[in-house]
Amino acid sequence: MPEDAVTKAKRRRRIRESFASPLNEIALRHVDSVQALSEAQRGILANVLQKTGPRFLANCIDAIKNHGVSIKDEDDLIKWLESSAKPQSDSRGPLNETLAGNFEDEEQLAKLLLQCYPDMPQSSADALVASDVMSASLHVVVTTRQALEDAKSDFVITVLYTLFEERLNVVAQLINNNPAFVKAIHRSRPDWKTKN
């Protein structure tokens, strides 16, 4: 019997919590691949990720799986990464590991889902966050966090604010132009006014 999304997300969270740092902060979609590695390989992976950050996670997993016999320590894995030059694209399209989410980003997105859909069970929100359907939204959460963390000047803050304001207007238009979206937003925001 195939595993449903809620059960899979719970299982992956439980497994991820057992990993050593920084592996206990990887995106849920990578948990099964990391778990399939030996304890020694996970140790090498954790040490490399502490040095490189999560953007090379997919490359590291690929290297260990395909070249594991030649990768005996973190230096071997780093050499392999340097020869491969750039982060591997994620199978989800244009989003890649350079903007890998962490546990807090996933929690933030789950919290937003529960805020918009108060009747949704936590387990369903967690499963949605781990799904491909929400990957672009998780990407926005990660990118927004990183942009705000790096915002050190008035130019950056002003441009970010203007960008968010502009995008908010575009999203409002998308909602107002689709009756299904209007109905959905009325569930969490009864005061929503349709503007034409």
User: Where is pLDDT greater, at 50 or 5?
Assistant: 50
> Could you read off the pLDDT of 87-121 as tens digits, one per residue?
544 444 433 334 455 778 888 998 999 888 888 88
What secondary structure letter does DSSP report for 96? B
What secondary structure letter does DSSP report for 42? H
**In 3D, which of 53, 10, 18 has the Cα closest to residue 34?**
18
> Could you read off the pLDDT of 21-34 as tens digits, one per residue?
889 888 888 899 99
Q: Residue 195: what pLDDT?
A: 66
Q: Residue 196: what pLDDT?
A: 53
Q: Residue 86: what pLDDT?
A: 53
48 alpha carbon, distance to own chain's centre: 19
Q: Residue 1: what pLDDT?
A: 67
**In 3D, which of 31, 36, 30 has the Cα closest to residue 65?**
36
> Could you read off the pLDDT of 66-93 as tens digits, one per residue?
887 788 898 888 888 888 755 544 444 4
Q: CB count, 10 Å around CB of 110?
A: 23
From the number of C-beta atoms within 10 Å of its C-beta (0-12, 13-18, 19+), residue 35 rates as middle
> Could you read off the pLDDT of 142-193 as tens digits, one per residue?
888 888 888 888 988 999 999 999 999 999 999 999 999 998 888 888 888 8
User: Where is pLDDT greater, at 90 or 53?
Assistant: 53
Mean pLDDT in residue range 9-29: 87
**In 3D, which of 103, 82, 85 has the Cα closest to residue 22?**
103
Confidence of residue 35 (pLDDT cuts 50, 70, 90): very high
Q: Residue 158: what pLDDT?
A: 92
